[in-house]
Structure 1
């Protein structure tokens, strides 16, 4: 799927074929079930995004909300963006260990975990990582990563 022009997550999901929609809906459920208070669901960068609203933290490097988690149905698979993991080395190590313990192969860029099927992910561990970073901690980690 190319970058979506949908303005809501529901509209984004409706654009997907049924089997891809099922994966995206499960990701949304996992994220929402584990998302600490203070983050909001939005469409940003052409994908569902869970972010710190500008009303809470307006001083960002690009004028956009701080994205915490996002996901996208890509042409050849899916991407799960765990920005909270990318700004905290301990959380990245936890993610890597969770994949190793589950016997799953981690295909990861800086914050992007690429996968073909939900079975490729250690979902309980990802849920715990999402739940583990309250908004204030995430803002502080982002500020540290930018040398502030």
Structure 2
């Protein structure tokens, strides 16, 4: 689902009330743990964390007018989602996350290529998401992004 919001604060206000506390906490955990250099924006109708054009002038290859996306959080119809491009691009990071997840949550991991879905908002492993957010600097993401892009 996309919400009509031009700022992350407006996004939080637009989502269903029963999800605001969880999304606000998730947002704070990510902001507190992301390495310096990422910017918080509205990206693809979600709260996004990106590498701005000032750090990576080329922008996103699919649309160079957009900054390089890294992480997003969203309130979808049936779940809260965390999208993390680093998990998709780095097998070691993916393996680490999959191995750590059961230490925090007893339910099965519901995950796509870069999307982690939480149907039970009271079971979002905030500490684990914070650690995930901390594991890659903007420069490491740029290097990984360019390396994977050049392989294609």
Q: Do they superpose with TM above 0.5?
A: yes
Unaligned runs of 5+ in 2: none
Say if 2:126 is the partner of 1:115: no
Cα distance in 1 for residues equivalent to 2:137 and 2:107: 27
Q: How many residues align?
A: 147
Cα distance in 2 for residues equivalent to 1:34 and 1:18: 25
Superposition CA RMSD, Å: 1.4
Query: Does the C-alpha gap of structure 1 residues 144 and 104 become closer, same or farther in structure 2, counting only changes over 3 Å?
Result: farther
Q: Among 134, 137, 140, which residue is 1:137 paired with?
A: 140
Residue 82 of structure 1, CA deviation: 1.1
TM-score of the pair, normalised by structure 1: 0.92
Q: Among 75, 84, 88, which residue is 2:90 paired with?
A: 88
Q: Among 61, 70, 75, which residue is 2:72 paired with?
A: 70
Cα distance in 2 for residues equivalent to 1:15 and 1:56: 30
Note the alpha carbon deviations across 1:6-54, whole angstroms, 9 max, x for none. Answer: 1000011111222111111011011111011000000010010010001
Structure 1 residue aligned with 2:61 = 61
Asked whether the 8 Å contact 2:110–2:116 carries over to 1, the reply is yes
* Secondary structure, aligned partner of 2:10: helix
Cα distance in 2 for residues equivalent to 1:115 and 1:123: 11
Asked whether the 8 Å contact 1:98–1:122 carries over to 2, the reply is no
* Secondary structure, aligned partner of 1:147: helix
TM-score of the pair, normalised by structure 2: 0.89
